[in-house]
Every structure is written in structure tokens, then in C-alpha cells.
Amino acid sequence: MTIKLRSMEWFEGAVDHSFQHRSAMRAMGHVPESFVGKPIIGIFNSWNDLNSCNYPHKELVEYVKRGVLLGGGYPIELHTITTPADFMKPSDLPYRNLMAMDVEETIRSLPIDGVVLLCECDKTTPAQLMGAASCDLPALQLAAGHRTPGVFRGKTVNYGTDTWKYIDDYKAGLLSDEEWRELEKCISCSLGGCPVMGTASTMKSVSEMLGMMLPGTSSIPATHATRKSAAEATGRRIVEMVQENLTPSKLITERSLVNAMKLLAALGGSTNAILHLTAIAGRLGIRIRLDDYAKHSADVPLLVNMQPSGTFNMDDYFHAGGLSVVIRELLPLLDGDCLGATGETIRDIYGRVPTELSDVIRHLGEPVMEQSGIAIVRGNICPDGGIIKLSATSEHLLRHTGRAVVFDSYEEMQERIDDDDLDVDADSVLILRNCGPVAIGMPEWGAIPIPRKLLREGVRDMVRLSDARMSGTSYGTIVLHVAPEAAAGGPLGLVQTGDVIVLDVPAGTLNVRLNPVELEARRAVWVRPKPRHVRGYPKLYADHVLQAPEGCDFDFLRADSKEEAAFVPPIVGRG
């Protein structure tokens, strides 16, 4: 089937503007004989000198270009903003939406027939998927790959999860200053994403599950030669997808999104994926409700024994067969008729994967953990819900009653948490609020540190509550994304130090032991926190961001229906 190429509107449309467009291409060395009539493939690069995760794309883009040319297309490299999670303060989440807008509007306004999106770091992958979903042109992602684990004192250490563990050890006095400096040098020893099942690895896996990344490519290390051949194959395949008109809306469907939710549970995936999947679906007019995550993961055990929910790292996972093996093992619980990036069904793609299961990837009947996935809790603290990652919790804390220790801001928490005079014990419930999307962009502050004096006593987990997020590499019995957030008037803002908190995860409840009259009396005197941002993009974000259960996308970018999600083409004429 031959389709009409969108780029032809620019290059073979009305005489006056096609002359202008072809002449502009000639100025950059692109002669019309080379590109007119061929699919123009926009390769969206997202590296910069502060994004160590995405930096490999500086080289990988050349292999994508080669694949596009070999496939009969014409490659055009474009650059968008990027979101280096290590550096963006106070939170990289708001810039996910900005990057999604950057991707969407660049695609919309330029002569592009298909898209390759170069991703890796936490928010780059969902941002690109959101933008691609809004435009609905054929699109594929290529990840940069995960970084190499390090070695510290003869033991493998993984950037991300082990970082948090060693921070606790250092604060507890178990590491010297010299050892701390040594760890800094060796824990992160190559480019690429975190080598554990954090947000980057989770979202790459989700992308492949949704058919937005070539099968078998999401798990390849950044340093492995196969990553380059994957780049070339991605370039070839996107040209075919343009001819097939295989677009995101045909791949990201209600059924494939349910598959992705099940995959999250099997992987022990990042809680951040809940925000991202919900936002991606919303761009296509598909509504995912918070309870859907619990519903669809209820019968899915943890199959992957990897940090932060298990023992191993992404290198071990790759050598055990990676995501392809996980999906093959999970197929009995999936809708196998959903399409992958090759245009085949996932049953056909992954059903033929040869595998021998290992300690890293377990059999469906012999999992790492019977109950995995996401639990949802509701109550008078969080009427719109809070989430907890079952695979990362301490079982003895899933039913817990304790006295609240409340911090009204991150700055206050940082100042007080390690004070030896802090009135706290192992049964206390730590609460951090005013850290939600409206308040300050919802940073990854939810994994509230264990107070130093308790670390010295050997305490390594406590019940913690927050309207913030948690790094996908983190762990602990932590209720996150409490909604509505405190700064938006949520009842979390009414809790006081000394109140009794009752968490019952099996029952799905989280409450403060106060009668409604007392809560209403507190609400009558509650004062909304002063806005942290009064201008620029942060103010735009605070004014238009949706709450966590709706994915923290902008209200003006989420489609209310599939019809409203339809791509609006530009009017091609003189610029």
C-alpha cells in the first residue's frame, strides 16, 4: 500500500511555498532528488552535557540515520529539551509536560512523516510518548540503555537503589568519610540509565509492551554493541511503519494499557509509571482510574528479582533474557492480540522467545513474591487515594498504627530529621506535605529519610506518608501521591503532630483517628500555603496541572474523548 506522505504538502504543494521549502533544504545540503517522495523521518534527540543517561544518543543517532537511509527514508535530526533527573530542581516532573509539548509541537509544525524518539532518563520516555500520542504519526522509541554497575569494597553496587542504602549507612556511622568518597567514584561508572528497575527501566519496558519500542531492545546495556544494531533496526522499521500507517493510537489502546499495568506488577516497576501511563492514555482520550492499577495487578506476581524489589541488576536481567522472557512468561495473563512494534501480535512476537528461567526471572508458578503491583488506600487523609508499592514494602508494616510526626515542607524536614531531640520512635508515622504537583511540582521527596538516631538503633523502614513522589529506585513502606494534595486543600494538610495514623493496606484504608467535627474545625482555620511560583513556566504548571490520580498532565492537553484526541494538522503556506 502506498500512502500519501504528509511531507509532500511542504515539498510538492503550492508552487510558492514548495519553492521556498525546497530552497531552504538546499541551503543545508539536502537536495530535493534525495528526499522528495521519501518518508521524512524526524529523529528527536534528547542528550545534553548534563544528562548522563541520554548522552549515548550523541553517537547512537548516526546508527538510526543509517537505518532510515537503508530502509528508504530520509533522516532529519532534531533536538528537544531533556530532563536530567539528577540535576533538575526541585523536580523534573513539570518538565515532562514541557518536553511533551516540545515534541508534539515540533512534530505538528514540521514536514515529518514518521518519528524516532531517543529516550532513557526517567521523564524523557513518558514525555516523548505523550507528545507522540497527541500527534499520532508513526513513532518508535530507542533507549540509550542502562549504565554499568560498579564495584565497592569487592561488592557490586548499583547507582540508584544502592545509593539510598549507603546514604543510610553513612548517616548511621557505618562508612567513613574516605569510604564515602571512594563510593562516589565507583558507583556510577558509565553513561546510561540506572541499572535497576527504577523509573527509566520501567518506562522503557512499558514502551516496548505498548509496541512503541522494538521487541528485545528495552533491556540492552548502554555499553553493549547490540545497542547500535538496535538503533539501525529502529531506523529501518520506522520507514516501514510509515508505509503501514501504524500509529500510536493503534498500539496504545485500552487493552494494551491493561497489559502494561500487569507488566508493572511483574517487574516490581516504579510508582512513577502510574502518573505516566495515566497521562499517556489521557492524550488519546482513554481514562485510567487509580483503582484500575490495583484491579489489573491483583493476580500478577512479582517475576523479576531485581533491585529495588529484589537482589539483581539490569546486567543480570539482560543476560537472563530481559523483558522478552518476562512477557513470554506473563502471556497467559495478557491480551496476546495486542500489537507490538513489528506489527505482529505480542503472542506471536514473544511466544516464540526461547528461554531458560533463572534466579533473576522466575516462572509464573514460582514467583519472587505472590502479591506485587500497586495497592490503593483511601480514607479521611486521602479521599482521592494514595498508592503504595507492595513489592518494596515491609510486610510487618502493612497494618500499622502510629503517632504522626509532621513536616510542613521539605526544608523543615531536612532541618529537623536528624536532630537527636526529634520526638520520634520506630512506630512513628513520618508525614511530609506541601510537596504535591500544585505546591512545588511533586518532587521525589516521598522516601522521607529515616531519622539518624533511629538508623543508629538499626531501624531501616518506617511508615511514611506524602503528597510527593518517590524515586523508582527507592523502597520502603511509603504511601505516595496522597490526593488531593495538601496545598490544594486536601485533608493531609489538617493532620497535626501527635495525631494517631491508622494504615491498613490489605483493607485499602488510611485514616487519622479524628472525628469529622474536629477535622472540620481544623479546616475552618486552615490557611492555604503561599504559592512558591509566581511567574514563568512553573506558574503555568501550577495553574493547569491535574492531580496525581489524573497523571499530572495539563488540563488543556488531556483529550476528553478519542475524537478530541485527533491530530490537528498545520496549515501549510508561507511561514
Question: What pLDDT is stored for residue 574 in this prediction?
Answer: 66
Q: Which residues pair with 345 in a beta bridge?
A: 339
Phi and psi, residue 296, nearest 5°: -80, -15
Whether the pLDDT of residue 309 is over 70: the answer is: yes
Q: Which whole-number Å values give the CA distances from 569 to 105, 108, 128, 224, in the listed order?
A: 10, 6, 19, 39
Instruction: Specify the CATH class of 374-525 in words.
Output: alpha beta
Q: Do domains 38-148+190-351 and 374-525 have the same CATH topology?
A: no
- Is it the case that residue 224 has pLDDT exceeding 80? yes
Q: Over 70: is that where the pLDDT of 1 sits?
A: no
**pLDDT of amino acid 575:** 63
**What is 38-148+190-351's CATH topology?**
Rossmann fold (3.40.50)
Q: So what's the pLDDT on residue 38?
A: 96
Strand bridging mode 150-152 / 114-119: unpaired
Q: What is the pTM of this model?
A: 0.96
Residue type, 487: A
- How confident is the model at residue 383, as a pLDDT? 98
Q: How far apart are CA 37 and CA 210, in angstroms?
A: 30
State residue 469's pLDDT score: 97
Indicate the average pLDDT of the chain: 95
Angle subtended at Cα 510 by Cα 509 and Cα 513, rounded to the nearest 5 degrees: 120
Domain ranges across the chain? 38-148+190-351, 151-186, 374-525
Confidence of residue 534 (pLDDT cuts 50, 70, 90): confident
> Does the pLDDT value for residue 55 go beyond 80?
yes
Residue 25 neighbours by CB distance under 10 Å:
19
pLDDT of 359 over the 60 cut:
yes
Mean pLDDT, rounded, for 217-245: 98
Q: Which residues contact 331 (CB under 8 A, 6 or more apart)?
A: 346, 347, 350, 351
Confidence at residue 314, expressed as pLDDT on a 0 to 100 scale: 97
**Per-residue model confidence (pLDDT) at position 127:** 98
- Residue 134: pLDDT band with limits 50, 70, 90: very high
Q: What pLDDT is stored for residue 415 in this prediction?
A: 96
pLDDT at 352 over 80: yes
How does residue 247 score in pLDDT terms, banded at 50, 70 and 90? very high
Using the predicted structure, report yes or no on whether residue 372 has a pLDDT greater than 90.
Answer: no
pLDDT in tens, 331-343: 999 999 999 999 9
- What does residue 361 show for φ and ψ, rounded to 5 degrees? -120, 120
Each residue's pLDDT tens digit, 183-206 = 999 998 899 999 999 999 999 999
Per-residue pLDDT at 148 exceeds 70: yes
Which of 182-186, 314-318, 558-562 comes out lowest in average pLDDT? Answer: 558-562
Is residue 551's pLDDT more than 80?
Answer: yes
DSSP codes joined into one string, 22-77:
HHHHHHTT--HHHHTTSPEEEEEE---TT-TTTTTHHHHHHHHHHHHHHTT-EEEE
If pLDDT is split at 50, 70 and 90, which confidence band does 249 have? very high
What is the distance between the alpha carbons of residues 318 and 306, in angstroms, rounded to a whole number?
11
Better-scored residue on pLDDT, 566 or 386: 386
Which residues make beta-bridge pairs with 117? Answer: 44, 141
Cell of 256: 494494551
